[in-house]
Structures are given as structure tokens and as C-alpha cells.
């Protein structure tokens, strides 16, 4: 260990941008054994590991890096998976520059961070190849069942943790595939769908029941599932797009980021997608404008490139230093030919029924606003016109109106519409109904959804244990009464 002085930092190599532009495959080459071992040995094994503190799952990073450097990969896998149910997914898509790697001590001392994410991915990819990841073996199934609404990372992880404890688990999802945003939001070039499907297949083979094409609130009522289960977890994510206040009524070629990405992912998975085939959600030969500067915007611009757009521009009202997303993703987009218009805001969509041009204004950064960043203000007289065939708005997401959707008016929500839960028990104001993931936090990250899934499973277990104990005590009392 401590080889950071002699061994330079090296991330996995990327395929050339020429190849990437024509392919939805992941853009990184897989790590090979020697490189993974060498990179892991750069860790300085610090007494207070800041990477561990800044990982939302508090992964024992220095310990599994040491095991990987010593080629003890099975032990490294056991340790890394003891705190993380989806390490191969986090290794691929966590914004490591803002979490573990961004806080690595050798990064701070100028040597370049240990490439933690790619080593975490390597360890778990090897575990799959070698067959170390087995189905869950339940010794005695409990006579209690949990209904989970939503099969995104929060729901899947809670299901796995509850299954390990022996509960019967049924997961309901409105889509035809499980995985939530892992399957239909995040593009294949960041996270190959097979990686997600391996996890859902294992969970199914471990006895979790998936009810797909089942939207709670329309296909099945909330009451129905409430009657079927001893506890309910709501893990429905946030899906309502935030909108820009422009004249887009009746304009056919303004679409939301998620509609665009879901169509592209479904098409990739060979579903029939009529709005893609009709051209509405397809960038082929178009001048595409994406509005926004987060990771969703980066996914849209890079998808548009791969769909064969004529040109792809990204408009963001702040500068590159102030983007909400990961700089790594901006770099990838730049390499793939995306034209970034920093400090630029669309102010008018021009066209009749269909946008033909977008009027934009240049912005300058003023004083710091409530988001902690400098507030963008328009520069007068800076208007420009950009030829436009398709506008994709990627401005973030809000929760849908769950009390209305579930016909459950008593369900309490916060001002922003996320579900209100008790901080400790993660239970909503309705007894036995829990919530986790983006529907509680607002749009967040996969790693936080995993943390919530693990925590809520513990809380549901405690709730059901108590319930089990009350039932047992009641039946004992009844026996005594009869005696």
C-alpha cells in the first residue's frame, strides 16, 4: 500500500469518441487485474479515511482496497457488499468526484485520488463472473409480507434486505421492467441494462414477487395492496418534470428529458415506442437544444449525439464551475462533440405549432442566492437566435401528487410534495406505511436511495417484530383466558 508516490493515478481507459458517438455501450474499458491491483495499492490507508466518511453508505473503502491490492478479491467483495447492495452500479455511476474520490487524502495532497469507483466496480464484476454472488438462502420464511411500491434502487434494496430477514416481499411497478431510473432513466452508455437485470433476476430467484405493469392508484388501488400486506413501502421516485415558463403551448417539438430518455432506453431494449418511431422523441438529423446543466441534461445531450442529431447544444444559465452535475460527465459530452452554451438562457420559443428558432439571452452571475450559488441575471441587448428542431427540457423533477394518485388524502406531504416521514422510523403519518428514496428526499442519487432502502428495511423489520410480539402476546393471553 501507500504506492501513490511511485504509481500514477490511472482511470479506466475510454473508447475513442468516434466509436462512442455510434454506440450505446458503456464508454469505459473494463479494468484488468494488474491495473486494479496497482491502483488499489495507491491507497494511503489513513487513520481517519475521509473517503469512508463522505460515502453515503460509509463503505469500508481502505479495507477493501487493501484486500484488492493483495489479490484477495473474494474477501474484498464480501466486505464491500456488506455495506452496499449494488456496488457494481455505484462504481459505475456515483458522482465520485463529489463523494468518496473528491475527499481522498492523496487527492488533496496533489497526487490524484485513488480511483475508488472503478475498483469497486471491478471487484463486483469479478464476483459475478466467478459466481460468488448467490441467491438469498432463506432458512425460515416469516408469516408476514411487505408490499413495495416502486422497483427503483430504494425499493429493490429494501426488498433484498427484507428477504434476507425472511419476509415475503411483493414489488409493484407501473413499468413493464423493474429497476426504476436504473433501467429507463439512466442511459446504457453509463450503466448497461444487463447489470441491472442481473440484480432483479437474482432477487426474483430469491423469492421476491414482481408485479409489473401495476400502477398503484390506477391498475390496483392503494387500499387493495394495503389489505394484502402487513406493511407497505412507498418508493415511487419523482417523475413530474419542472417546467420553464415559456410559450410552449401546442409546440410539438418541446419534450421533457425523462420522456426522451425513457423512449430511448425502451427502444434500446427493443420495445415498440411509437413516439420514437414517429420522430417526436428522436433526434435523428435534428438541431437539438437541451436546456439544463445537471446529469439528466448530460444524459440527454449524449443520447442525442448517439441518435444521429445534426447538432447538439446544451444551454445552461450559469457557468461550467456552477453546474449541479458531475464535471466528469461534461467532459465526456465535450469529447463527444456537444456544444455548451454556458451563461445562456432561452427566453422565447419561436414558431407556429412547431419551434423553428430559440431566442436566447446571455447571462452574468450576480450575488449568491438561496441555493448558495451566484444568481444568473440577463445581460441586456445580448439576444441571439438558434435554429431548433427539438427542445429537450432537463430542469429537474418534482413529486407527483401521491395523496391524490393513491386516493389517500390523509397521507401527509411536505411543501414541495415529497412524503413526510418520521426521521427515525421512516414511517409516514399512516401506521405501517413507510417511504424511502427520491419520494422522500426529492431528486437525489442512487447511492442515497440504496442507503434509504437499507435503513427502511431495518425500520420495517422493527415495526413487524413488535407487531409479531403483540400478536404472540395476545394469543398467549387468549390461551390463558381459556385455561
Ligand X SMILES: Cc1cc2nc3c(=O)[nH]c(=O)nc-3n(C[C@H](O)[C@H](O)[C@H](O)COP(=O)(O)OP(=O)(O)OC[C@H]3O[C@@H](n4cnc5c(N)ncnc54)[C@H](O)[C@@H]3O)c2cc1C
Binding stretches for ligand X (CB under 6 A): 93-94, 149-155, 172-175, 180-181, 185-186, 190, 215-217, 235-237, 258, 261, 295-296, 299, 405, 437-438, 444-447, 449
**Using CB atoms within 10 A of its CB, is residue 356 exposed (0-12), middle (13-18) or buried (19+)?**
middle
Does 94 engage in binding with ligand SF4 (CB under 6 A)? Answer: yes
Answer yes or no: are the C-beta atoms of 355 and 318 closer than 8 Å.
no
Answer yes or no: are the C-beta atoms of 199 and 156 closer than 8 Å.
yes
Does 96 engage in binding with ligand SF4 (CB under 6 A)? Answer: yes
For residue 38, the minimal CB distance to ligand SF4 (Å) is 19
Q: What span, in angstroms and rounded, lies between the C-alpha atoms of 379 and 158?
A: 49
> What is the Cβ-side half-sphere exposure of residue 26, based on CA atoms within 13 angstroms?
18
Q: How many residues sit close enough to ligand SF4 to count as binding (CB under 6 A)?
A: 15
CA nearest to 335, candidates 5, 17, 7, 86: 17
Nearer to ligand X, 169 or 343 (CB): 169
For cell 478479491, what's the residue?
73
Of 93-101, 107-115, 183-191, 260-268, which part binds ligand SF4 (CB under 6 A)?
Answer: 93-101
Nearer to ligand SF4, 253 or 326 (CB): 326
List strands edge to edge, sheet with 168-172: 209-211, 168-172, 145-149, 231-234, 433-435
Of 56-64, 158-166, 211-219, 392-400, which part binds ligand SF4 (CB under 6 A)?
Answer: 56-64
Answer yes or no: are the C-beta atoms of 106 and 42 closer than 8 Å.
yes
User: Beta 287-291 vs 231-234: how paired, if at all?
Assistant: unpaired
Instruction: State which of residues 40, 57, 73, 263 lies at the interface with ligand SF4 (CB under 6 A).
Output: 57
DSSP strands (E only) in 113-200:
145-149, 168-172
Instruction: State which of residues 73, 100, 181, 427 lies at the interface with ligand SF4 (CB under 6 A).
Output: 100
Dihedral (CA of 414, 418, 420, 423) sign: negative
For residue 177, the minimal CB distance to ligand X (Å) is 8
Q: What span, in angstroms and rounded, lies between the C-alpha atoms of 37 and 21?
A: 31
Nearer to ligand X, 94 or 126 (CB): 94
Binding at 39: pick from ligand X, ligand SF4, none (beta carbon under 5-8 Å per type): none
Of 88-96, 133-141, 289-297, 377-385, which part binds ligand SF4 (CB under 6 A)?
Answer: 88-96
For cell 386516493, what's the residue?
407
- Which residues are CB-contacts of 270 (< 8 A; sequence separation ≥ 6)? none
Binding at 216: pick from ligand X, ligand SF4, none (beta carbon under 5-8 Å per type): ligand X
Euclidean distance between the first and final Cα of the chain, in Å? 69
Does 61 engage in binding with ligand SF4 (CB under 6 A)? Answer: yes
Nearer to ligand X, 214 or 382 (CB): 214
Binding at 120: pick from ligand SF4, ligand X, none (beta carbon under 5-8 Å per type): ligand SF4
CA nearest to 203, candidates 158, 117, 136: 136
Does 418 engage in binding with ligand SF4 (CB under 6 A)? Answer: no
Binding at 174: pick from ligand SF4, ligand X, none (beta carbon under 5-8 Å per type): ligand X
Binding at 59: pick from ligand X, ligand SF4, none (beta carbon under 5-8 Å per type): ligand SF4
Does 117 engage in binding with ligand SF4 (CB under 6 A)? Answer: yes
Nearer to ligand X, 203 or 363 (CB): 203
Answer yes or no: are the C-beta atoms of 452 and 440 closer than 8 Å.
yes
Answer yes or no: are the C-beta atoms of 120 and 81 closer than 8 Å.
no
Nearer to ligand X, 260 or 349 (CB): 260
Nearer to ligand SF4, 84 or 253 (CB): 84
Q: What span, in angstroms and rounded, lies between the C-alpha atoms of 28 and 35?
A: 14
Does 464 engage in binding with ligand SF4 (CB under 6 A)? Answer: no
Does 59 engage in binding with ligand SF4 (CB under 6 A)? Answer: yes
Answer yes or no: are the C-beta atoms of 51 and 103 closer than 8 Å.
yes
Binding at 149: pick from ligand SF4, ligand X, none (beta carbon under 5-8 Å per type): ligand X
For residue 116, the minimal CB distance to ligand SF4 (Å) is 5
Binding at 434: pick from ligand X, ligand SF4, none (beta carbon under 5-8 Å per type): none
Q: What span, in angstroms and rounded, lies between the C-alpha atoms of 320 and 390?
A: 23
Does 90 engage in binding with ligand SF4 (CB under 6 A)? Answer: yes
Instruction: State which of residues 40, 65, 116, 345 lies at the interface with ligand SF4 (CB under 6 A).
Output: 116
Q: What span, in angstroms and rounded, lies between the C-alpha atoms of 333 and 159?
A: 35
> H or E stretch including 391?
strand 390-393
Does 281 engage in binding with ligand SF4 (CB under 6 A)? Answer: no
DSSP strands (E only) in 159-230:
168-172, 209-211
Binding at 153: pick from ligand SF4, ligand X, none (beta carbon under 5-8 Å per type): ligand X
Instruction: Give contact residues for ligand SF4 (rule: CB under 6 A).
Output: 55, 57, 59, 61, 84, 90-91, 94, 96, 99-100, 116-117, 120, 447
Amino acid at each position: 500500500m501507500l504506492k501513490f508516490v511511485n504509481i500514477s493515478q490511472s482511470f479506466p481507459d475510454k473508447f475513442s469518441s468516434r466509436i462512442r458517438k455510434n454506440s450505446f455501450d458503456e464508454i469505459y474499458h473494463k479494468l484488468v487485474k494488474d491495473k486494479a491491483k496497482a491502483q488499489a495499492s495507491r491507497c494511503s490507508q489513513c487513520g481517519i479515511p475521509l473517503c469512508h466518511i463522505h460515502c453515503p453508505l460509509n463503505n469500508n473503502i481502505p479495507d477493501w482496497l487493501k484486500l484488492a491490492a493483495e489479490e484477495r478479491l473474494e474477501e474484498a467483495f464480501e466486505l464491500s457488499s456488506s455495506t452496499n447492495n449494488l456496488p457494481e452500479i455505484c462504481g459505475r455511476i456515483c458522482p465520485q468526484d463529489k463523494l468518496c474520490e473528491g475527499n481522498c487524502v492523496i487527492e488533496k495532497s496533489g497526487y490524484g485520488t485513488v480511483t475508488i469507483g472503478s475498483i469497486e466496480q471491478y471487484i463486483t464484476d469479478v464476483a459475478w463472473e466467478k459466481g460468488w454472488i448467490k441467491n438469498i438462502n432463506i432458512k425460515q420464511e416469516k408469516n408476514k409480507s411487505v408490499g413495495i411500491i416502486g422497483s427503483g434502487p430504494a425499493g429493490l434494496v429494501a426488498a433484498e434486505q427484507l428477504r434476507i430477514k425472511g419476509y415475503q416481499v411483493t414489488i409493484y411497478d407501473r413499468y413493464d421492467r423493474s429497476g426504476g431510473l436504473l433501467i429507463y432513466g439512466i442511459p446504457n452508455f453509463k450503466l448497461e441494462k444487463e447489470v441491472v437485470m442481473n440484480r432483479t433476476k437474482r432477487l426474483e430467484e430469491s423469492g421476491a414477487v414482481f408485479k409489473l405493469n401495476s400502477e398503484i392508484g390506477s391498475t390496483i388501488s392503494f387500499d387493495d395492496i394495503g389489505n394484502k400486506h402487513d406493511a407497505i413501502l412507498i418508493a415511487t421516485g419523482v417523475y413530474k418534470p419542472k417546467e420553464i415558463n415559456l410559450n410552449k403551448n401546442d409546440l410539438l417539438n418541446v419534450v421533457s428529458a425523462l420522456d426522451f430518455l425513457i423512449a430511448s432506453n425502451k427502444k434500446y431494449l427493443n420495445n415498440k415506442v411509437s413516439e420514437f418511431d414517429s420522430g417526436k422523441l428522436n433526434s435523428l438529423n435534428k438541431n437539438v437544444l437541451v436546456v439544463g446543466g445537471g446529469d439528466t441534461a448530460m444524459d440527454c445531450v449524449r443520447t442525442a449525439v448517439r441518435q444521429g442529431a445534426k447538432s447538439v447544444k446544451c444551454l445552461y444559465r450559469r457557468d461550467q464551475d456552477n453546474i449541479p452535475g458531475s464535471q466528469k460527465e461534461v467532459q465526456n459530452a465535450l469529447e463527444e462533440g456537444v456544444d455548451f452554451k454556458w451563461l445562456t438562457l432561452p427566453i422565447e420559443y419561436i414558431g407556429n405549432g412547431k419551434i423553428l428558432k430559440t431566442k436566447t439571452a446571455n447571462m452574468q452571475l450576480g450575488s449568491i442566492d438561496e441555493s448558495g450559488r451566484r444568481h444568473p441575471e440577463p445581460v441586456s441587448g445580448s439576444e441571439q437566435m438558434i435554429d431548433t428542431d427539438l427542445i429537450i427540457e432537463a430542469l429537474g423533477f418534482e413529486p407527483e401528487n401521491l395523496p391524490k394518485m393513491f386516493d389517500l388524502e390523509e397521507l401527509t406531504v411536505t411543501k414541495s410534495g415529497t412524503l413526510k416521514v418520521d426521521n427515525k422510523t421512516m414511517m409516514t403519518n399512516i401506521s405501517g406505511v413507510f417511504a424511502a428514496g427520491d419520494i422522500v428526499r426529492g431528486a437525489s442519487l442512487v447511492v442515497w436511495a440504496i442507503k434509504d432502502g437499507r435503513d427502511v428495511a431495518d425500520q420495517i423489520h422493527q415495526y413487524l417484530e413488535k407487531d409479531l410480539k403483540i400478536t404472540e402476546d395476545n394469543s398467549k393471553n387468549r390461551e390463558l383466558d381459556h385455561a
